[in-house]
C-alpha cells in the first residue's frame, strides 16, 4: 500500500504547484463589492484549482457503509478505497442488526416523516420514550430533542440568552456554540482554551459590572480539534459561585467514553451535576439529531417554544428516533461496554503507533485522534498522498484551526483493530514524509 519516492518526480511536482497550495477559505469571506455572488465565484475558482490537483479533500461521497474500510469518491471523480478513519461512527452501529430492525419497524408503524415540529404535532410516542432514556443515561431528566446537533447547540444558546445577558465561552468551542452566542448577545467573552483561572476572572468581572443580567458559561466535554477536556467540576462550581448556568457539549464523548457511556461528565464524576448538557446523535448514535438536557422542566418547555431550530423545524423522523433508541439501549448494555473497550484498544494502538513513527498527536485518548501535519501546503499534499496510499482521513486546516497548524482529525471506530491502526500510522508517516519532500518543507 505504501509508495516509494523518486527524486525526479518530486522535482517535477514541486515546480508544478502554485495557487492550490496557497490561501484559505477565509480569504473569500469578506471580499468587498456590490456583486454578492462574486466571492462565491472567486472561492469556486480557487477550490476547483485545488480539486484539479487532488488537494481539495472535501465534499467526498461515500460508496457504502461507513465501516473500518470504505470507498470515497472525490470531487475530481477519483475513487479511493482503504482504511476509513474519516467517519463519525465511534461504536460502529450504523449496520447493527438491532438498529436496522428498529428503523424498519418504525417505518412500518409511523412512515418516514414527523410532519411537524415538536411545538405542534411532530412528536411521536417513541420520542418521549427516547427523552426519558437519555435522561437516565445522563442523570439529567428533562431532555428536549432537536433535528440536528448543530441546531441543539445554536438553539439552546439563542433560546435562553437575551441581548442584555452575557456568554463566557471557550475560544475553541464548536461553531454552533459560537454562532449561537453571536446571534444571542453582543456580550460574548472568550476565555483561553481550558483555562479555568481565566474563566473565573471573566465571571468575576462580568458579575461586578452587571449584577442584574444572566450569564451562560459554555464548554465541551471533548474538544473535536484537540481531543482535550476541561475541568467540568471546577467550571460548574464557578458558574454557581457567580450566578451563571454551565452548558457542556458532549457530542464527541457521550456513549463512547466512560464505564457506562456517560462520557467526560461520567469520567469526571459529574453525572447529574451539570446545569445543561447538550449533544449530537451523529457521532455515536448513528443518526442525525441533537438534544438539550437539564434538571428544570421549565427550561425544557421554554426551549421548545423559544429555540427557533426546534420551534420552526420538523421534529426528528420516527425512523431516526427509533435508531437512536436502539443505539442508546446498546450503549447502556454489556455489548456497549465491550464495544467501548474495543474502541479504546484501537485508539491507544493508533496513538502509540503514530508516536513511534515520530508523528505528533494531540490531546487525550478519545475517538478523535488529532494528528499534526504542520504547514497548510504540506498538509494538503499529505492528505492526497494518504488517499492514494489507501488511508481515508479528514484534513482540517485554517481557519478551522490556527494558520499552519493543519492536522488530520482521525476518527476511530469500534470495528478498527489495533493492527489496522498500526497500518494507518505507517501510512500517515510515509505520506507526510513524501509531502514534505514535494513542498520542500523542513521540520
Report the distance separating Cα 218 and Cα 238, nearest Å.
12
Report the distance separating Cα 337 and Cα 297, nearest Å.
31
pLDDT at 9 over 70: no
pLDDT for 119 equals 84
Beta bridge partners of residue 80, listed in sequence order:
72
% pLDDT > 90, the chain: 85
Where is the domain boundary, 289, 313, 331? 331
pLDDT for 153 equals 98
Does some domain include residue 198? yes
pLDDT for 49 equals 93
Report the distance separating Cα 359 and Cα 374, nearest Å.
11
pTM confidence score:
0.92
pLDDT at 12 over 70: no
Residues 325 and 383 in one domain: no
Report the distance separating Cα 235 and Cα 241, nearest Å.
10
pLDDT level of residue 18 (50, 70, 90 thresholds): confident
Does some domain include residue 391? yes
Q: What is the CATH number of the domain that holds 275?
A: 3.40.640.10
Residues 158 and 240 in one domain: yes
Report the distance separating Cα 103 and Cα 108, nearest Å.
9
pLDDT at 4 over 50: no
pLDDT at 15 over 90: no
Does residue 57 contact residue 394 with C-beta atoms inside 8 Å? yes
Does residue 81 contact residue 69 with C-beta atoms inside 8 Å? yes
Range in 63-77, 193-207, 379-393 the model is least confident about:
63-77
Q: In this structure, what is the dihedral angle of CA atoms 297, 218, 156, 179, given to the nearest 10 degrees?
A: 180
Residue with cell 463512547: 256
pLDDT at 347 over 50: yes
Where is the domain boundary, 277, 297, 331? 331
Residue with cell 446571534: 183
pLDDT level of residue 377 (50, 70, 90 thresholds): very high
Residues 244 and 389 in one domain: no
For 20, 115, 359, 442, the CA distances from 69, given in Å and listed in that order, are 29, 36, 22, 33
Share the mean pLDDT of the chain. 93
pLDDT for 443 equals 62
Where is the domain boundary, 331, 358, 374? 331
Residues 259 and 321 in one domain: yes
pLDDT at 19 over 80: no
Nearest to 410 by CA among 192, 227, 199, 214: 227
For 269, 275, 303, the CA distances from 195, given in Å and listed in that order, are 20, 20, 29
Report the distance separating Cα 331 and Cα 216, nearest Å.
30
Tally the domains of the chain: 2
pLDDT for 440 equals 87
Q: What is the CATH number of the domain that holds 379?
A: 3.90.1150.10
Give the structural domain span for 322. 97-331
Residues 104 and 150 in one domain: yes
Does some domain include residue 250? yes
Q: What is the pLDDT of residues 321-332, one digit of tens each?
A: 999 999 999 999
pLDDT at 2 over 50: no
Beta bridge partners of residue 218, listed in sequence order:
169, 247
Q: What is the pLDDT of residues 96-149, one digit of tens each?
A: 999 999 999 999 999 888 888 888 888 888 999 999 999 999 999 999 999 999
Give me the count of residues in the chain: 443
Nearest to 272 by CA among 321, 215, 233, 229: 233
For 180, 215, 257, 302, 303, the CA distances from 212, given in Å and listed in that order, are 22, 10, 39, 21, 22
pLDDT for 217 equals 98
Residues 381 and 419 in one domain: yes
Q: What are phi and psi of 364, to 5 degrees?
A: -115, 165
Average pLDDT over residues 180-187: 98
Q: What are phi and psi of 218, to 5 degrees?
A: -125, 130
pLDDT for 1 equals 37
Q: What are phi and psi of 276, to 5 degrees?
A: -135, 130
pLDDT for 17 equals 58
Amino acid at each position: 500500500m505504501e509508495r516509494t519516492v523518486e527524486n525526479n518526480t518530486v522535482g517535477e511536482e514541486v515546480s508544478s504547484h502554485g495557487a492550490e497550495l496557497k490561501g484559505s477559505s477565509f480569504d473569500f469571506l469578506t471580499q468587498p463589492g456590490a456583486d454578492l455572488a462574486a466571492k462565491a465565484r472567486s472561492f469556486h475558482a480557487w477550490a476547483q484549482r485545488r480539486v484539479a490537483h487532488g488537494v481539495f479533500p472535501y465534499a467526498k461521497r461515500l460508496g457504502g457503509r461507513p465501516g473500518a474500510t470504505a470507498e470515497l469518491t472525490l470531487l475530481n471523480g477519483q475513487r479511493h478505497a482503504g482504511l476509513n478513519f474519516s467517519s463519525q461512527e465511534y461504536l460502529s452501529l450504523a449496520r447493527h442488526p438491532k438498529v436496522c430492525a428498529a428503523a424498519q419497524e418504525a417505518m412500518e408503524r409511523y412512515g418516514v416523516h414527523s410532519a411537524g415540529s415538536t411545538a405542534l404535532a411532530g412528536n411521536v410516542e417513541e420520542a418521549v420514550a427516547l427523552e426519558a432514556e437519555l435522561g437516565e443515561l445522563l442523570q439529567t431528566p428533562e431532555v428536549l430533542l432537536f433535528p440536528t446537533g448543530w441546531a441543539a447547540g445554536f438553539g439552546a444558546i439563542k433560546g435562553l440568552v437575551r441581548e442584555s445577558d452575557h456568554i463566557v465561552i471557550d475560544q475553541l468551542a464548536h461553531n454552533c456554540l459560537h454562532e449561537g452566542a453571536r446571534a444571542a448577545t453582543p456580550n460574548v467573552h472568550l476565555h483561553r482554551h481550558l483555562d479555568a483561572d481565566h474563566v473565573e476572572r471573566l465571571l468575576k468581572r462580568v458579575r461586578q459590572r452587571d449584577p442584574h443580567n444572566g450569564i451562560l458559561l459554555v464548554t465541551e466535554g471533548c474538544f473535536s480539534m484537540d481531543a482535550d477536556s476541561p475541568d467540568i467540576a471546577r467550571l460548574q462550581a464557578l458558574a454557581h459561585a457567580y450566578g451563571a448556568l454551565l452548558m457542556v457539549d458532549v457530542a464527541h464523548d457521550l456513549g463512547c467514553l466512560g464505564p457506562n457511556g456517560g462520557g467526560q461528565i461520567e469520567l469526571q464524576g459529574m453525572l447529574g451535576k451539570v446545569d445543561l448538557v447538550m449533544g449530537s446523535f451523529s457521532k455515536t448514535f448513528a443518526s442525525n439529531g441533537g438534544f438539550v438536557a437539564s434538571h428544570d422542566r421549565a427550561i425544557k418547555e421554554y426551549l421548545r417554544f423559544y429555540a427557533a431550530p426546534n420551534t420552526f423545524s420538523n421534529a426528528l423522523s420516527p425512523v431516526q428516533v427509533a435508531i437512536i433508541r436502539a443505539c442508546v439501549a446498546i450503549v447502556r448494555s454489556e455489548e456497549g461496554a465491550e464495544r467501548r473497550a474495543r474502541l479504546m484498544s484501537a485508539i491507544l494502538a493508533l496513538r502509540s503507533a503514530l508516536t513511534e513513527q515520530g508523528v505528533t498527536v494531540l490531546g487525550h485518548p478519545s475517538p478523535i485522534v488529532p494528528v499534526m501535519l504542520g504547514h497548510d501546503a504540506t498538509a494538503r499534499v499529505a492528505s492526497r498522498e494518504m488517499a492514494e496510499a489507501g488511508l481515508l482521513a479528514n484534513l482540517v486546516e485554517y481557519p478551522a484551526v490556527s494558520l499552519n497548524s493543519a492536522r488530520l482529525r482521525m476518527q476511530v471506530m469500534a470495528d478498527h483493530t489495533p493492527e489496522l491502526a498500526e497500518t494507518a500510522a505507517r501510512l500517515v508517516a510515509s505520506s507526510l514524509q513524501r509531502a514534505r519532500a514535494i513542498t520542500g518543507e523542513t521540520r
